[in-house]
Amino acid sequence: MSPESVGIDDSQDVLYRLVDQESGEVLIAAEDLLDYFMEEDREPPETVTFVRAHRVGRARRKTERAELQVVDRQGGTIGAYDIGRVSAAFRHGLVPSGEDRPDLGYTFFGHTCEYPRAGEIWRQWATRRPVEPGEWARHPSDWHESWLHVVQTAWFESGRGATRYETGGTAVINSTAITTRDGFYCALGEAVNGPGGYFGSNLDALFDCLRTVRRDEAAPFRLVWRNFAASREALGSDFTERVLALFQECGVETELS
């Protein structure tokens, strides 16, 4: 069985698609991905493996402009990565005879994703929507950086901008689960824009969000920061004071409790 004989299948099990950006052709679709989401200091592998491939484009085995798409159960794109040049790494004997969902490799000449838990989080988002309130906080603290990455990637992929979309006048942060700065931005994004919401991933990005709210003449909102002392202890007084200064500069009334 050759890679060309792997048929087209729009099964709901598909989680990733590799797409040629110029033609829109789906080069391969698969249920999982190995060796793309990985630790920053780990040596990149020679190939990224698409697990249980559902689709392999017949016309092309490489492209200069590939995009890796994360898709939900309905086939909609919820996240995307600009990969650049890729080349199929099919080898003789890689696809066993009779195997209709083979594992197939592609060489990515660009960077891998340095958020090791992102793949697991994408699967949660794709199979169980919408995101639940406080879901980020149910993960260990070493997941928060990856969660924030997924939030930011999905937010902009959906066409939303760095601004406030919720209509309520008060946003509430509860510091109980905040132990890292990434966790703070997860909590802030949820407080301002709802579960899975984005409102900055660092101080510069937070300032951009706040400035956009003012530029759009959106209704001002009030921020209630519960258990603030716990946040200050976990995040450091320098960081929390800089955050408060940004809120004050941009006209956000802040209540610390």
**Domain spans in the chain, listed from the N-terminal domain onward:** 3-118, 135-256
Residue 177 in tokens: 């689960």
- Three-class SS of 111-123: CCECCCCHHHHHH
- Which pLDDT belongs to residue 204? 97
- Three-class SS of 239-256: HHHHHHHHHHHCCCEEEE
Contact 29, 17 (CB under 8 A): yes
- Which pLDDT belongs to residue 8? 44
- Which pLDDT belongs to residue 100? 63
Residue 66 in tokens: 């590939």
CB atoms < 10 A from the CB of 242, how many?
A: 13
Nearest to 11 by CA among 98, 110, 101: 101
- Which pLDDT belongs to residue 55? 62
Residue 145 in tokens: 């950086």
Q: Which residues pair with 174 in a beta bridge?
A: 226
Q: Give 10-residue mean pLDDT values along the chain (257 residues).
A: 41 86 91 89 80 69 93 93 89 48 85 92 89 94 97 97 85 92 97 95 96 75 94 96 95 92
- Which pLDDT belongs to residue 200? 97
- Which pLDDT belongs to residue 2? 36
Q: What is the rounded distance in angstroms from the CA atom of residue 27 to the CA atom of residue 60?
A: 7
Q: pLDDT per residue over 139-153, tens digit each?
A: 999 999 999 999 999
Q: What is the rounded distance in angstroms from the CA atom of residue 39 to the CA atom of residue 179?
A: 21
Contact 95, 3 (CB under 8 A): yes
Residue 125 in tokens: 């988002």
Nearest to 116 by CA among 92, 96, 142: 142
pTM listed for this prediction: 0.89
Which one of 3.30.370.10, 3.40.50.2020, 3.40.50.620, 3.40.50.2300 gives the CATH number of domain 135-256?
3.30.370.10
- Which pLDDT belongs to residue 112? 86
Contact 19, 26 (CB under 8 A): yes
Q: What is the mean pLDDT of the chain?
A: 86
- Which pLDDT belongs to residue 218? 67
Q: What is the rounded distance in angstroms from the CA atom of residue 71 to the CA atom of residue 116?
A: 19
